Amino acid sequence: MPTPPPTGPLCTRASLAAELLELGVRPGETLLAHTSLSALGWVSGGAVALVQALLDALGPDGTLVVPTHTGDNSEPSVWRDPPVPESWWPVLRATMPAYDPLTSPSFGVGVVPEAVRTWPGALRSAHPQASFAALGPAAATITAGHARGSSFGERSPLAHLEKAGARVLLLGAGYDSCTAFHLAQYRVPGPETENSFAAMTSRGREWRTVREPATPSDRFGELGAAFERDTEVVRGLVGAAESRLFPLADAVAYAEQWLPAHAPRPEP
């Protein structure tokens, strides 16, 4: 079959930086970006050009943060896309490489986080499943102290971002990608879950299991729509991508109220 023709608009580093500034990105701020490269149109230079544009808009005093999660470093018995044979489970638990901030590729979060992760000077947090990477003056503060039992809690980059007054940029991404809502889940009483992963410890590689609040994102679209209805959210186009910009602390505070009010009622 013939290759379909490219679809526009044609975006460049300069055009994207200008549109990010027009949307409201402020030089010098700390920005947690969730991105969909394909939503922008045809980007000359791909993920690298978009990261350059984000850094251009933020300027030398700004800090760019992205999720660099490694959800493939997880309990194989719960894998569903695709599932693996039960006979493989113990082998996978025994042989899966331990998380390494320098070499473990991100998984399931798109090509832009991987570009940031491998960017010169990038720092990455230490959580074996829920890491974030950052570029800029605040990168060390944002990524420090990410505890294994606090994927998205008080000892995670999300809490540091909240304290730093960071904003969230959804660049062609929906609220289902908004990791800020996970911080609220840690603060609201709810079910817990077990997370298992391969980690490097003082005794070498180990398979570890931690218990922490469950963080399902299946209702984040509904939560985001309510948040946008009740709260001021900047909206606009960057390239062809519908984009949103809002303070992370506002999203967390709203979710802390919304989640318990919309929790499933126990069956009688």
Categorize the per-residue pLDDT at 268 as very low, low, confident or very high, splitting at 50, 70 and 90.
Answer: low
Burial of 204 (0-12, 13-18, 19+ CB in 10 A): exposed
- The pLDDT of residue 92 is 97
CA distance 263 to 185: 11
- The beta-carbon contacts of 48-53 under 8 Å, at least 24 apart in sequence, are 48/115, 49/11, 49/12, 49/13, 49/16, 50/13, 50/16, 50/112, 50/115, 51/112, 51/115, 51/116, 51/119, 52/13, 52/17, 53/13, 53/14, 53/16, 53/17, 53/20
On the question of pLDDT at 32 being above 80, the answer is yes
On the question of pLDDT at 6 being above 90, the answer is no
Q: Cis peptide leading into 85, omega within 30 of 0?
A: no
On the question of pLDDT at 267 being above 70, the answer is no
Q: Over the chain, what is the mean pLDDT?
A: 95
Query: pLDDT tens-digit profile of 108-156?
Result: 999 999 999 999 999 999 999 999 999 999 999 999 999 999 999 999 9
Query: pLDDT tens-digit profile of 180-227?
Result: 999 999 999 989 999 999 999 999 999 999 999 999 999 999 999 999
Phi (first) and psi of residue 162, to 5 degrees? -60, -45
- The pLDDT of residue 89 is 97
Torsion sign (Cα): 18, 24, 26, 32:
negative
CA distances from 214 to 39, 50, 187, 189, 191 (A): 30, 33, 11, 10, 6
- The pLDDT of residue 56 is 98
Categorize the per-residue pLDDT at 81 as very low, low, confident or very high, splitting at 50, 70 and 90.
Answer: confident
Q: How large is the average pLDDT for residues 83-94?
A: 96
Categorize the per-residue pLDDT at 5 as very low, low, confident or very high, splitting at 50, 70 and 90.
Answer: confident
Helix axes 220-230 and 180-187, enclosed angle (nearest 10): 100
- Core vs surface per residue 128-159: b (16+ CB within 10 A) or e: bbbbbbbbbebbebbbeebebebbbbebbbbb
Categorize the per-residue pLDDT at 7 as very low, low, confident or very high, splitting at 50, 70 and 90.
Answer: confident
Q: What percent of the chain has pLDDT over 90?
A: 93
CA distance 215 to 186: 8
